[in-house]
Copies of this chain bind each other. A is one copy, B any other.
């Protein structure tokens, strides 16, 4: 038989779609395989700490669910998600000030799928998504898969800067670009560790409305604030202008893979059709399990316990940074999983990473969170998963790596390349959510 049209290594090389050419496993992926060894302290991961979950309760509940409702739980379900699950989701969203109807909600395979579906229905190749600088690596991966151009807007300690957003949208419009969405993580930002100030929220909503730009509000961490009530969501200011994404991965457990979108009616309809084409229906067993947990357990008490655990870990990281790396600057998160560290002049987080892993500590380079090749001067440190003792040890090791690197810089000049290189965004992995 004659040969195929591809190469020897890949017989289908010349058959791929345009969008697939950007899909490749980066060097970072291989590095993270090393970083997952137990001797390495990973300050890279975004895995929630689920050791506090009531496993006996969950075991009994699962057994009861299969005995009492097994025929239902193990069958195909609704493409939009089970009514019972959507009713619970509406209750959960009330804590963020969102007053939605179960009919507005689409249940997805993690909120990542919701992000994928919204992008699928709105983005043609070359359309612009405006996003915070930096932005969640998994969102950048989705936007790239749909061939969007991401334009970053700066943040400060109070989150996205409204004036900068307004100027960016005006300039993009003047340049004739089609801007479809603002993607934002307003609470306990991944990776920046800051929240959008309360007074900025209606301003951001008004600016997007004025420019005809949909807001994609990604809120996996909103209930994980260490003090005070959750801030009102952007969606609470303009239900028709915002698609809100939520998840049970951080407030309960990621293994069920249940997230959701709450969307304006017409958008919701398209999301359901797109989701049915993609997966037929989300897992009914997962949805009924989570519904039983929410109905039968003090889930909000469990969230409060998670908050306490993450606050203890945040404190451990802050005090370790104070002690071992006082010359650096970082954000002090009031919730969530991450702090965003600025490196001393001349250091390159991406170039330094292999040396850090050799020294048994891992982080995510700032470059993962920019679509434009910048971010070498930052790193994301996560405090969600390791114990406080391990966090302290990880920061101690990191300080040693940074010191050695700084000495090299002093001797030989910067190790940091000019910003704007080919971006090295890897796909999201469990270590980078």
Question: What is A's interface to B at a CB cutoff of 8 Å?
Answer: 1-2, 4-5, 9-13, 15-20, 23-25, 47-48, 50-51, 53, 55-56, 58-60, 62-64, 66-67, 70-71, 73-79, 109-110, 112-113, 116, 120-124, 127, 138, 141-142, 144-146, 180, 206, 209-210, 212, 214, 240-241, 249, 253-257, 264-267, 269-270, 273-274, 276-286, 427-430, 433
Contact = CB atoms under 8 A, between A and B. Distances in A.
A274 B282 CA distance: 18
Given A283-B283, A285-B286, 7 more contacts: A55-B71, A58-B74, A63-B63, A109-B279, A273-B427, A277-B427, A286-B286
A16 B269 CA distance: 13
A396 B110 CA distance: 45
Closest 6 pairs (CB-CB, A-B): A10-B266, A74-B255, A74-B253, A76-B430, A59-B63, A63-B63
A59 B55 contact: no
Contact of A430 (B9, B77, B212, B283): B77
Given A141-B276, A209-B4, A66 B55 contact: yes
This protein's copies in its complex: 2
21 contacts: A9-B266, A12-B266, A12-B267, A15-B214, A16-B122, A17-B127, A19-B121, A50-B71, A53-B74, A55-B66, A59-B63, A59-B67, A109-B109, A112-B278, A112-B279, A116-B277, A138-B277, A257-B280, A257-B283, A257-B286, A278-B278
A124 to B, nearest CB: 5
B11 A75 contact: no
B74 A16 contact: no
A55 B254 CA distance: 25
A146 to B, nearest CB: 8
Contacts of A11: 240-241, 264, 266
Nearest to A18: B124
Given A10-B266, A256-B285, A286-B285, A23 B274 contact: yes
Contacts of A18: 124
Given A12-B264, A66-B58, A209-B1, A110 B23 contact: no
A317 B283 CA distance: 31
B122 A15 contact: yes
B75 A254 contact: yes
Nearest to A283: B257
Nearest to A46: B76
Contacts of A63: 59-60, 62-63
A74 B256 contact: yes
A220 to B, nearest CB: 11
Contacts of A428: 276-277, 280
A1 B206 contact: yes
Contacts of A257: 109, 279-283, 286
Most buried by B among A5, A71, A273: A273
Nearest to A64: B59
A5 B241 CA distance: 12
A430 B78 contact: yes
A212 B15 contact: yes
Contact of A20 (B15, B64, B121, B206): B121
Contact of A427 (B141, B276, B430): B276
Contacts of A17: 120-124, 127, 146
A280 B66 contact: no
A12 B264 CA distance: 9
A106 to B, nearest CB: 13
Most buried by B among A20, A255, A267, A269: A255
A401 B18 CA distance: 49
Given A56-B67, A76-B254, A255-B283, A5 B212 contact: yes
Contacts of A2: 209-210
